[in-house]
Amino acid sequence: MFSKKHAATPRQSAPMASTGSTFSVIGSDVTIKGDITASADLHIDGQIEGDIACASLVQGESSHIQGAISAESARIGGAVAGSITARELVVLQSARIEGDVHYDTLTIEQGAAVEGRFAHRETGSAGEPALSDDDSEPKLHIAS
């Protein structure tokens, strides 16, 4: 009876591990001093002192990042002291950014605070032209 229940548990968890999607979470009780590089999606609620490079970043409201951020997509909700470079960037109303912002597409919620410059990216991260639906017009979305 116990062996059947015990044998069923590994089979149920195996498909989850083989899906290929990875997601890393840095909890609110974690402080990291150093650079972070992740090929996976990253959710940060803690404190980071260093640069971050990842596929997709979600920053929680209570999080603080001191360093540069580079991501394909980023959703910023906390404090950032450093530059941000992202193909798709969403700045939530709770965000406080001190640094330059480089983007392909940008959405800013009302109430967000940014001290720095906004610049539409001229080239992609690999030196290739940035992806855009039209020839050269930057995209800006203002969320209400």
**Verdict on whether the full-model pTM lies above 0.75:** no
**What is the number of H-type helices and E-type strands within the chain?**
1, 15
Q: How far is CA 91 from CA 30, 36, 99, 101, 132, in A?
A: 23, 21, 13, 10, 20
CA atoms within 13 A on the CB side of 14: 5
Amino acid at the residue 4: K
CA distances from 53 to 35, 82, 91, 106 (A): 8, 13, 18, 18
Task: Judge contact between 72 and 53, C-beta under 8 A.
Answer: no
Domain ranges of the chain: 22-122+137-143
Q: To which H or E segment does residue 26 belong?
A: strand 23-26
Greater pLDDT, 23 or 47: 47
- The pair of three-digit structure tokens given for residue 21, joined into one six-digit string: 């999607």
Name which residue leads in pLDDT, 138 or 92.
Answer: 92
pLDDT tens digits for range 78-134: 999 999 999 999 999 999 999 999 999 999 999 999 999 999 987 544 434 444 444
